[in-house]
Chains A and B, each alone.
Chain A
Amino acid sequence: MTKWLRETLWRHVTGWIMCAFAVFPLYLVFLSAFNESGSLQVTSFLPREISFANFDVLFNDERIPYLTWMKNSLMISGFVAIVSVVIGAASAFAFSRLRFKGKKFGIQLLLLIQMFPAILAISAVYVIMERVYKFAPSLGIGTQAGLILIYLGGAMGVNIWLLKGFVDSIPAELDEAAKIDGASAMQTYWQIFVPLAAPVLAVVSLLSFIGTFNEFILARLFLIEVESRTVAVGLQQFIGGQYSENWGPFAAGSIIASIPIVIIFLSLQKYIISGLTAGSVKG
């Protein structure tokens, strides 16, 4: 018995405490989402009644275009996730496999760039896009198109770097064999690399999706009109602005917004964790 105490009990106690810590805020959000009073308080540990009033506000109040925000977030993140991986994979293949002048310099530059926190250049991005707005109002500051372009540029460094690491790990014999059989670089890419890398491409793409979905400050700075906002910015403004202290609808909104991300994350757990140990940190 004492041995069990010493060996096993402390493990359960630690597990219990940390689980409580981990779950507490999430449980609270569920409570206030289904509670009409709408503050992040523990009115009781079990919900007395279940009310959908907060969800009703989200979907039916004209001042809160929640569904539009959600649609904006999903579209922007989806577009960035797919396009950045399509472009990034081709670049990664070139940097890993093809021979060309300045490759070493390119790789070093890439290493440096992907370390650069995008947020540091935020004032420059802002000023540049202000200038772009002067001649192309559909691409400059205040537009989703402009924001997507910036996200794509920002995702490029990390994506190329991650994917290059993966291509490096594919045995060179495979494409050497293809080369001997007379395949061009294009053919090697499409017929050997892409099928082999498909799962990894999907993972990197979903990671980009999560990263873009979570991006806050560029979206905050860029998307001025209420209708064009992403869900993160919309919800932040929602509790920061004229509806302050109105936590009920916020809780409901954040639950819905989190569901796709949590599902993606849990289904990719295995890959993400192996990617973690390769040295990437989720934002």
Chain B
Amino acid sequence: MIIRGKVATTIKVVLLALISAVLLTLTQSAFAKKEYVIAAFLAASIFALNFTYFSKRTVPLKFFLPGILLLAAFVITPILYTVVMSTYNYKTGNYIGKEEAVERIKALALEPDENNSAFDIVVGQFQESDALLVSDIVNDLYFISTPERRIELNKNQVELDENLVAQGVTGFMRADAGEISASKAATKRYFYNSEYFITVENLNVGAVFRQSLEYLPQQDIFRSLISDAIYRDNGNGNYVNPDDKSDFLEPGWRDPAWFTNYVRLVNDERVRDPLILVFIWTVVFATLTVLTQFAFGLLLALALNKPIRGRRIYRSILILPYAMPSVMSILIWGGMFNTEFGAVNEILGSNIAWFQDPTFARVAVILVNLWLGFPYFYLVSSGSLQAIPSELLEAAAIDGANPRQVFSKVTLPLLLQILSPLLIASFAFNFNNFNLIYLLTGGGPREQLDGEIAGSTDILISYTYQIAFGSNLQDLGLASAISVLIFFLVASISLYGVRKSKVLESFS
């Protein structure tokens, strides 16, 4: 059914109007929250959509604009953003923007008085201002404190409970929890004396503090009001005391660090040494995986290449591991390798702690991946075996080659040539086979007590994930730098593969 003419135009206009309206609302709220880049992207999308679908001259754009917008928003932008993040000091403790960090430092810079004074309080309203009714029982003093001033009370005026805590006084209106959270009364600072103020610790307790740091916006420094020490922006996302580098203010902010993260990959041995080990294992893992999967797949393809009885049944059973959702299979294998309750130990009659020992864990990873992948290579190898012209094999046999020679001199080289793009693609895929590692071993075993982040079965991508989201210290900047590195590695492998298949196409 093809819709034409006025109906089609109406549908188009209504649809575009709806989409534009939604995007416009989003643009406004993004703008209101100061997400200018996102707002600009959304505005540009609205413009592009309307221009494309109302103009008569943008035929190709009509076809690929939705795809391009999705790609731009959710693939290209994250890629670019990864590159940007890799040049930032972006980690736990340096997660927010600088303005926000300054506000937080100010709010956190509190110094208690010498007695660590704390009072029973009641939060409420006095003369249309948020106020605290404070009971200083130790000194037998009662007063009302507002953000601006302090009103002393006579003990006789005040309603006291059995613990001598003031519960009310004429003119003071107690507030309930809902009112307090609505008026943000609990976040305010209440007058105590010219230097100290009272903050609300909880709805019944207030504590006496003074400001310990002041921010001087002109010089962009923090000054300690107690020791007069100065804290300067160190250009790396923290205010640091120039006289004592270990004395810095929390929290920091994300700050351009240019190539610091990349330099750390090379120079910082705590980053570099695990990275090298992980890289070596990644290559070994991907290579062994491709080799074992291909070897077993090919063996099967050769075995079932003749019309033997039950070939179809073999085939349908052998394809099963490949048809199962891999997430489920990996989790199942994880259970089978369980030391006490797992089937693998039971069958071997052994008591191996598979995932606690680096070597066994690696063997398990390769074995599971063999199970997951050999049907793929069985399928493609048997397809390719049939594509080899039988004349070639016959000619070799006539020339006096025995079956083994025919295989090693004719069949295998031809197969390798046909399958090399697939072998390379599979290598590239396994190079980043995050699911397998994450779900089977979690990258472990790792000596967490020694502060190790890299585990014995971690491959680059799971190691990166670990750095970004895993440990207590989440270092998104460093993780992004490694991601960029991996991308170049994978891209060169894949481009090499594409070139191989191009070469093949020109042969055939």
Instruction: Point out the residues of chain B lying under 8 angstroms from A39, CB to CB.
Output: 335, 338, 341
Q: How far is the CA of A251 from the CA of B333 in the complex (A)?
A: 11
> How many A-B residue pairs lie within 8 Å, measured between CB atoms?
285
Please state if B380 and A191 are interface contacts (CB–CB under 8 Å): no
Q: Which residues B287-327 have CB closer than 8 A to chain A?
A: 296, 299-300, 303-304, 306, 308, 310, 314, 316-327
Instruction: Point out the residues of chain A lying under 8 angstroms from B380, CB to CB.
Output: 273, 276-277
Give per-residue flags for B484-499: 1 if the beta carbon is below 8 A from chain A beta carbons, else 0.
0011001100110110
Please state if A117 and B432 are interface contacts (CB–CB under 8 Å): yes
A94 on interface, CB distance cutoff 8 Å: yes
B138 on interface, CB distance cutoff 8 Å: no
Known A19-B314, A121-B78, A135-B33; contact A40-B338, beta-carbon cutoff 8 A: yes
* Interface window among B101-109, B122-130, B274-282, B368-376: B368-376
B465 on interface, CB distance cutoff 8 Å: yes
Please state if A22 and B375 are interface contacts (CB–CB under 8 Å): yes
Give per-residue flags for A230-245: 1 if the beta carbon is below 8 A from chain B beta carbons, else 0.
0010011001000001
Please state if A41 and B60 are interface contacts (CB–CB under 8 Å): no
Known A87-B66, A118-B75, A122-B468; contact A25-B327, beta-carbon cutoff 8 A: no
Q: Which residues A234-283 have CB closer than 8 A to chain B?
A: 235-236, 239, 245, 247, 250-251, 254, 257-258, 261-262, 265-266, 269, 273, 276-277, 279-283
Q: Which residues B56-70 have CB closer than 8 A to chain A?
A: 59-64, 66-68, 70
Please state if B67 and A88 are interface contacts (CB–CB under 8 Å): yes
Q: Which residues A115-144 have CB closer than 8 A to chain B?
A: 115-128, 131-132, 134-136, 139
Please state if A214 and B78 are interface contacts (CB–CB under 8 Å): no
* Interface window among A46-54, A148-156, A174-182: A148-156
B35 on interface, CB distance cutoff 8 Å: yes
Known A93-B63, A118-B75; contact A14-B300, beta-carbon cutoff 8 A: yes
Q: How far is the CA of A128 from the CA of B384 in the complex (A)?
A: 45
Q: How far is the CA of A265 from the CA of B78 in the complex (A)?
A: 32
Q: How far is the CB of B499 from chain A (nearest CB, A)?
A: 12
B74 on interface, CB distance cutoff 8 Å: yes
Instruction: Point out the residues of chain A lying under 8 angstroms from B308, CB to CB.
Output: 8, 11-12, 15
Instruction: Point out the residues of chain A lying under 8 angstroms from B258, CB to CB.
Output: none
Instruction: Point out the residues of chain B lying under 8 angstroms from A121, CB to CB.
Output: 75, 78-79, 81-82, 483
Please state if B331 and A127 are interface contacts (CB–CB under 8 Å): no
Please state if A128 and B78 are interface contacts (CB–CB under 8 Å): yes
Please state if B324 and A90 are interface contacts (CB–CB under 8 Å): no
Please state if A279 and B326 are interface contacts (CB–CB under 8 Å): no
Give per-residue flags for B23-58: 1 if the beta carbon is below 8 A from chain A beta carbons, else 0.
000100110110100100000000000000000000
Instruction: Point out the residues of chain A lying under 8 angstroms from B332, CB to CB.
Output: 25, 28-29, 40, 251, 254
B143 on interface, CB distance cutoff 8 Å: no
* Interface window among B112-120, B211-219, B391-399, B420-428: B420-428
Q: How far is the CA of A157 from the CA of B476 in the complex (A)?
A: 25
Instruction: Point out the residues of chain A lying under 8 angstroms from B376, CB to CB.
Output: 276, 281-282
Give per-residue flags for B328-341: 1 if the beta carbon is below 8 A from chain A beta carbons, else 0.
11011111101001
Please state if B342 and A258 are interface contacts (CB–CB under 8 Å): no
Known A91-B67, A117-B461, A123-B85; contact A11-B303, beta-carbon cutoff 8 A: yes
Q: Which residues B141-168 have CB closer than 8 A to chain A?
A: none
Closest to A99 in B: B60
Q: Which residues A76-105 have CB closer than 8 A to chain B?
A: 87-88, 90-91, 93-95, 98-100, 103
Instruction: Point out the residues of chain A lying under 8 angstroms from B200, CB to CB.
Output: none
Q: How far is the CA of A122 from the CA of B47 in the complex (A)?
A: 29
B343 on interface, CB distance cutoff 8 Å: yes
Please state if A115 and B491 are interface contacts (CB–CB under 8 Å): yes
Instruction: Point out the residues of chain A lying under 8 angstroms from B363, CB to CB.
Output: none
Please state if A277 and B29 are interface contacts (CB–CB under 8 Å): no
Known A121-B82, A258-B328; contact A25-B461, beta-carbon cutoff 8 A: no
Please state if A22 and B468 are interface contacts (CB–CB under 8 Å): no
Interface residues of A, count at CB 8 A: 98
Q: How far is the CA of A258 from the CA of B299 in the complex (A)?
A: 28
Instruction: Point out the residues of chain A lying under 8 angstroms from B321, CB to CB.
Output: 22, 25-26
Closest to B334 in A: A239
B429 on interface, CB distance cutoff 8 Å: yes
- Of B32, B296, B324, B438, which is in contact with the most chain A CB atoms at under 10 Å from its CB? B324
Please state if A18 and B300 are interface contacts (CB–CB under 8 Å): yes
- Contact partner of A214 among B30, B318, B325, B374, CB < 8 A? B325
Instruction: Point out the residues of chain B lying under 8 angstroms from A8, CB to CB.
Output: 306, 308
Please state if A134 and B63 are interface contacts (CB–CB under 8 Å): no
- Contact partner of B2 among A160, A190, A239, A269, CB < 8 A? A190
Q: How far is the CA of A154 from the CA of B468 in the complex (A)?
A: 20
Please state if B32 and A113 are interface contacts (CB–CB under 8 Å): no
Q: How far is the CB of B14 from chain A (nearest CB, A)?
A: 18
Q: How far is the CB of A91 from chain B (nearest CB, A)?
A: 3
Please state if B303 and A14 are interface contacts (CB–CB under 8 Å): yes
Please state if B29 and A153 are interface contacts (CB–CB under 8 Å): no
Q: How far is the CB of A83 from chain B (nearest CB, A)?
A: 9
Provide 21 A-B residue pairs closer than 8 Å at the C-beta atoms, listed in order of the A residue: A14-B303, A18-B318, A19-B317, A25-B371, A40-B332, A94-B64, A116-B79, A119-B465, A132-B35, A156-B70, A190-B2, A217-B435, A221-B469, A235-B328, A254-B328, A258-B324, A261-B325, A262-B324, A276-B380, A277-B422, A283-B429
Q: Please list the 9 inter-chain residue pairs (A to B) with the smallest Cβ-Cβ separation, ordered nearest first.
A: A153-B74, A91-B67, A94-B63, A121-B78, A265-B323, A124-B81, A91-B64, A124-B78, A14-B303
Contacts A91-B66, A250-B335 aside, 15 further interface pairs with beta carbons under 8 A come to: A7-B306, A14-B300, A15-B314, A42-B343, A115-B490, A118-B75, A121-B78, A132-B38, A149-B73, A153-B71, A156-B70, A210-B325, A216-B438, A235-B328, A258-B328
